[in-house]
């Protein structure tokens, strides 16, 4: 038997890259081999802006000054991140700041820069970390008779790999979520779990773009020559109206502006599949300009310079009754893909990754105790992740100036937005969650040792079929 645990991380987005960095920071490096499998051919600039703040921002500091310095180099770090909430649709009360959400210390950057900051230095300095590109998972199996390397993976290019633990950081479509729930449905005799694999359309569509700040400045100077600099030079903004809302903030040290325009298409809400091959497509600026007709000049100055948008049909999954099964775990969007209205997706993914990385780094983790470690992660993270998933829908209504129960009450809308912010990003400490999970792991290991229970007894019933192939719904389009 080899001494090192082989960890497979599928996906190198926010969750995958942060998980690898956490393991490298806290684990005994003689105990692990880490392989990160990325479907893309490289880390490119596809994607949009990301803001990390509140509880989650503490993780950046915990992972070391070198990482924080690199993020500071490529992004914008503030010790007092504030989002201004304004009605800007030209209707009664338009043009005023309704409230400001104080999010504490935080940072905004392009998603690709975030991934590079986490992974580039790690790949240069960690001999036990390997990065594999163009590796799209096709299927995996789990052999319950093996105590070593029970997970076998097959990729679309025909290559294979093995691992002791499989960690799915593979996004909203997540083949690993499909596969894990398929295996769990068989082993636990709960066929209803398979129904939770597919993602479903949330009803929300967002048009996303990133433009040069100088283009915004030129349009703003033309539209409002006496108004001074545009607000986005100094603030992050939530521009709201009854038919849409916009999240916008500066990126890359004020050189670029991230724009996300959100609107509802409720007729298709809840459908597992839209009649589209892709959930993201390119479009011109015309639909957004039509949507924003009559809005305040401050908003139009930002929208008019845009040449092209990525139109995203926002899909979500879950909520799931478990993020783990035996040696398999889900993180980030694979576990709790949600609507983006709380700005919670990346933050929750980062918290998943940090807590699971800390738990797996425990000296109590062996091949026999991997299921106990993953259960400790699930016990602490799933309630919070699922609650953030649920609250994200409420916040979407609030951002469109309507309470979740349908009231047009601006005071209530403002108060509820502030409560959501406090609940998910200010209250509590991630380190407290880590210590809770480590205590659960310790108690579970002691209980298992006292009872002499094997891995199967501690987590999963032994089944007659010992080599289980997971159905990962072949043919998914990225």
One-letter-per-residue 3-state SS of 328-384? EEECCHHHHCCCHHHCCHHHHHHHHHHHHHHHHCCCCCCCCCHHHHHHHHHHHHHHH
How many Å apart are CA 399 and CA 247, to the nearest integer?
10
The two structure tokens encoding residue 262: 């959100």
Question: Which residues contact residue 321 at a Cβ distance below 8 angstroms, ignoring those fewer than 6 apart?
Answer: 193, 196
How many Å apart are CA 229 and CA 131, to the nearest integer?
43
Between helices 55-62 and 345-360, what is the axis angle to 10°? 50
Question: Which residues contact residue 216 at a Cβ distance below 8 angstroms, ignoring those fewer than 6 apart?
Answer: 230, 232, 257, 301, 302, 305
Q: How far is CA 99 from CA 85, 240, 249, 257, 423, in A?
A: 5, 12, 17, 22, 17
Reduced to 3 states, what is the DSSP secondary structure of residue 439? Answer: helix
Between helices 345-360 and 430-451, what is the axis angle to 10°? 40
How many Å apart are CA 471 and CA 176, to the nearest integer?
9
CA-based end-to-end distance of the chain: 38
Per-residue confidence (pLDDT) for residue 121, from 0 to 100: 66
Q: Looking at the chain, how many residues does it have?
A: 478
Q: Across the strands, what pairs with 455?
A: none
Per-residue confidence (pLDDT) for residue 466, from 0 to 100: 43
Q: Across the strands, what pairs with 300?
A: none
* Cβ burial, residue 26 (10 Å; 0-12/13-18/19+): middle
pTM of the model: 0.88
How many Å apart are CA 408 and CA 294, to the nearest integer?
20
How many Å apart are CA 402 and CA 272, to the nearest integer?
26
Reduced to 3 states, what is the DSSP secondary structure of residue 121? Answer: helix
Per-position b or e across 320-340, b if 16+ CB within 10 A of its CB: bebbbbbbbbbbbbbbbbbbb
Low-confidence ranges of the chain (pLDDT < 50): 1, 455-468, 471-478
| Torsion sign, CA atoms 222, 224, 226, 232 | negative
In the chain, where does the domain assigned CATH 3.50.50.60 lie?
Answer: 5-81+106-199+318-469
User: Rounded to an integer, what is the distance from CA 358 to the centroid of its chain?
Assistant: 18
Per-position b or e across 402-438, b if 16+ CB within 10 A of its CB: bbeeeeeebeebbebbbebbeebbeeeebeebbeebb
In the chain, where does the domain assigned CATH 3.30.9.30 lie?
Answer: 201-316
Q: Report yes or no: 81 and 104 within 8 Å, Cβ to Cβ.
A: yes
Question: Which residues contact residue 217 at a Cβ distance below 8 angstroms, ignoring those fewer than 6 apart?
Answer: 229, 230
| Torsion sign, CA atoms 41, 337, 342, 78 | negative
CATH number of the structural domain 5-81+106-199+318-469: 3.50.50.60
* Of 113, 81, 424, the residue nearest 252 (C-alpha): 113
Topology, domain 201-316: D-Amino Acid Oxidase; Chain A, domain 2 (3.30.9)
**Range list of β-strands (E), 213-332:** 236-240, 245-251, 256-264, 280-283, 309-316, 324-325, 328-330
Q: Report yes or no: 193 and 46 within 8 Å, Cβ to Cβ.
A: no
Q: Report yes or no: 272 and 199 within 8 Å, Cβ to Cβ.
A: yes
């Amino acid at each position: 038997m080899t001494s090192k645990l082989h960890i497979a991380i599928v996906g190198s987005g926010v969750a995958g890259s942060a998980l690898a960095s956490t393991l490298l920071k806290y684990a005994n490096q003689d105990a692990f081999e880490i392989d990160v499998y990325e479907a893309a051919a490289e880390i490119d600039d596809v994607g949009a802006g990301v803001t990390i703040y509140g509880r989650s921002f503490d993780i950046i500091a915990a992972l070391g000054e070198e990482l924080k310095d690199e993020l500071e180099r490529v992004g914008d770090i503030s010790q007092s991140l504030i989002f201004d909430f304004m009605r800007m649709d030209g209707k009664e009360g338009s043009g005023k700041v309704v409230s400001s959400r104080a999010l504490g210390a935080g940072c905004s950057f392009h998603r690709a820069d975030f991934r590079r900051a986490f992974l580039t230095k790690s790949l240069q300095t960690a001999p036990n970390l390997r990065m594999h590109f163009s590796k799209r998972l096709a299927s995996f199996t789990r052999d319950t008779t093996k105590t070593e390397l029970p997970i076998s993976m097959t990729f679309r290019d025909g290559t294979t790999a093995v691992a002791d633990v499989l960690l799915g950081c593979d996004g909203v479509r997540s083949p690993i979520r499909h596969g894990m729930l398929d295996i769990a449905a068989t082993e636990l005799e709960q066929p209803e779990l398979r129904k939770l694999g597919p993602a479903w359309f949330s009803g929300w569509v967002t048009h996303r773009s990133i433009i040069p700040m100088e283009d915004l400045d030129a349009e703003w100077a033309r539209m409002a020559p006496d108004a001074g600099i545009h607000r986005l030079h100094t603030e992050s903004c939530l521009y709201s109206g009854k038919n849409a809302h916009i999240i916008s903030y500066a990126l890359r040290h004020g050189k670029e502006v991230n724009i996300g325009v959100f609107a509802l298409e409720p007729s298709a809400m809840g459908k597992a599949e839209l009649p589209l091959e892709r959930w993201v497509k390119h479009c011109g600026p015309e639909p957004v300009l039509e949507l924003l007709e009559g809005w305040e000049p401050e908003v139009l100055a930002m929208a008019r310079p845009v040449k092209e948008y990525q139109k995203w049909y926002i899909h979500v999954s879950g909520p799931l009754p478990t993020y783990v099964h035996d040696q398999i775990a889900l993180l980030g969007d694979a576990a709790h893909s949600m609507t983006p209205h709380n700005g919670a997706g990346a933050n929750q993914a980062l918290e998943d990754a940090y807590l699971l990385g800390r738990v797996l780094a425990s000296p109590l983790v062996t091949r026999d105790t991997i299921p106990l470690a993953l259960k400790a992660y699930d016990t602490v993270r799933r309630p919070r992740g699922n609650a953030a998933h649920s609250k994200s829908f409420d916040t979407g209504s609030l951002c469109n100036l309507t309470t979740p129960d349908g009231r047009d009450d601006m005071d209530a809308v403002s108060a509820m937005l502030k409560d959501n912010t406090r609940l998910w990003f200010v209250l509590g400490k991630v380190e407290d969650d880590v210590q809770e999970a480590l205590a659960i792991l310790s108690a579970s290991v002691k209980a298992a040792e006292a009872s002499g229970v094997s891995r199967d007894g501690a987590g999963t019933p032994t089944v007659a079929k010992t080599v289980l192939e997971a159905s990962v719904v072949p043919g998914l389009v990225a």
